Amino acid sequence: MASGFFVTATDTSAGKTVFSCALLSALARRGFSVAGFKPVAAGAVQTPVGLRNEDAALLRRHSSVSLDYEEINPITLEPPIAPHIAARSAGISLSPDLLAERHRQLAGKADIVISEGAGGWLVPLSETENMADLAVRIGDPVILVVAMRLGCLNHALLTAESIRARGANFAGWVANRVDPEMPVFEENMESLDARLGVPRLATVPWLDEPDPERKISRAIAGLDLDLVTQALARA
């Protein structure tokens, strides 16, 4: 069995964090010890204990094992911009090998680790490597969160094609309704079900609510945990 899942998305703000936290909470209720992992976070505020990213803090809150913030989010960058640009401005380099090693250390502390990428599948980490390279090094099956809005079919199918081209295990996808006015929503979901070739693990409804915990609760309700555990067992 794999150590967990790598959660990617069609683009930024697609709902990776909400789904990842929902998955952590649901798996913890099923009896697993779980940990979230946000290898790189761009967009943070300075606090008395250092830079802190809101998404990473949520992953930590929904992990069932006690972890230091830095274990969940090894690289925290202040500006909310592309990670490789933020890292260059901060004078640091982003190494998939080093980040994969931090994942291995975390995997020794929990039954399941849910890794959340930054932005989309091919977001650069350096001049030569990207988030997909990190996912392949970690080696866990990949879940694709699709921001359901106009244009999502092309974005989702291109991302799925790249996931498979990299040799990653494409485990399933998530439909996250980010646009309540999206026309023919159900027909778009059916089109992706037919073309992605993997199970839809969750359908996250639209929720006009700023509280992330309420969004996470709604995402849990739309999650098919049996399909998730089956995908994990197959890996």
- Active-site amino acid positions: 38
Tally of residues, the chain: 235
User: Rounded to an integer, what distance in angstroms lies between the CA atom of residue 102 and that of residue 121?
Assistant: 20
Q: Where does 148-200 have alpha helices with state H? A: 152-165, 185-196
The residues near 124 (Cβ < 8 Å, ≥ 6 apart) are 82, 83, 84, 130, 131
Which tokens hold the place of 129?
């490597």
Which tokens hold the place of 115?
């890794």
Pick from 177, 171, 169, 167: nearest CA to 199: 171
Pick from 152, 117, 154, 155: nearest CA to 136: 117
The residues near 186 (Cβ < 8 Å, ≥ 6 apart) are none
3-state secondary structure of 224: coil
- Residues forming beta bridges with residue 130, ordered by sequence position: 124
